[in-house]
Amino acid sequence: MATYVETKDVKIFIDPGVAVSPDRYSLPPHHFELDRHREMWQAIKQWVSIADIVIVTHYHYDHHNPDDPTLYDNKDIYLKHPRENINPSQQERATALLALIEQRARSITLTDNHKCEIGNTRIVFSPPVGHGILPKLGYVTEVLVEEDEKFLFSSDVQGPLNNEAMQFIIESSPDILYVDGPATYLLGSHYKKSDINNAIENLSKVILSTNVKTVIIDHHLMRDLNWNEYIDILSKVKPHVRIVTAAGYCGRQEEPLEALRQQLYIGQVV
């Protein structure tokens, strides 16, 4: 979900990380995925290099990368609180990241429930909200960037699956919402049908009770080959609200390489 946002006042990079799933359909990443991973990391580095602010919403390695701390040199860094409302594995990763960047960053601000203004741009961070429904996955902070338009980055709320995450979105009433979507590919293993329905219902509520114009839905949803079905359902809630993937928003064709991994291995995708 690595995202660059620019206003007249400030250039912001949210969650500078990219990862490939080590095991999907009992297969390791295909070389297409590994090539794309390298390309995306280079792109992230380029966009971060022109950013003033870097935000890390939580400490999963698809949202930050401790292997290249030079990324944080002379940036104002906004971090999810490293010790409060955090699960043990993310706390360990947060401590490691802080040690790496403390001497490099221009400033470090902890974000949980934080607000700041830079010129006419307001950045509002949510209270810590659950990474889905189970506390074992930890917490994230959602990010609202407000200037002429309001852009909201949900981070990993898996839908949203919980009320707190949804409430922040509804109260913020963004023009553009970028949300990770439900992990429908884990249906039957980690999630019940009712969880997925709940996530879709919550997204419908967001569309119905806000002035959102564009919903970008990606990340977890794009790990499912049938992602389109969920986009279709949501497109019917308010027909003038655009529901789109991150690729679609950027005017590109979707390439859900992980979901296509089996087909990549047998050469059915070119």
Q: What are the residues binding Zn ion (CB under 5 A)?
A: 60, 62, 156
Angle, alpha carbons 172-174-180 (nearest 5°): 100
Residue 233 C-beta: closest distance to Zn ion, Å = 23
Beta strands in 154-262 (DSSP E): 176-179, 214-217, 242-244
- Which residue, 46 or 89, is less far from Zn ion as judged by CB? 89
- Which residue, 60 or 261, is less far from Zn ion as judged by CB? 60
Please give the C-alpha separations between residue 270 and each of 39, 43, 183, 198, 248, in angstroms, as whole numbers.
18, 23, 26, 36, 20
Residue 62 C-beta: closest distance to Zn ion, Å = 4
Residue 19 C-beta: closest distance to Zn ion, Å = 8
Residue 257 C-beta: closest distance to Zn ion, Å = 16
Pairing between β-strand 242-244 and β-strand 150-153 as defined by DSSP bridges? unpaired
Residue 218 C-beta: closest distance to Zn ion, Å = 10
Q: In whole angstroms, give the CA distance from residue 175 to residue 213.
A: 5
> Who contacts 51 (Cβ-Cβ below 8 Å, separation ≥6)?
4, 11, 12, 13, 75
- Which residue, 138 or 174, is less far from Zn ion as judged by CB? 138
- Which residue, 57 or 198, is less far from Zn ion as judged by CB? 57
- Which residue, 154 or 198, is less far from Zn ion as judged by CB? 154
> Which strands form 11-14's sheet, in the order they lie side by side?
3-6, 11-14, 53-56, 76-79, 107-110
Residue 109 C-beta: closest distance to Zn ion, Å = 21
**H-type alpha helices, 27-78:** 31-50
- Which residue, 51 or 222, is less far from Zn ion as judged by CB? 222
Cβ-contact 162, 132 below 8 angstroms: yes
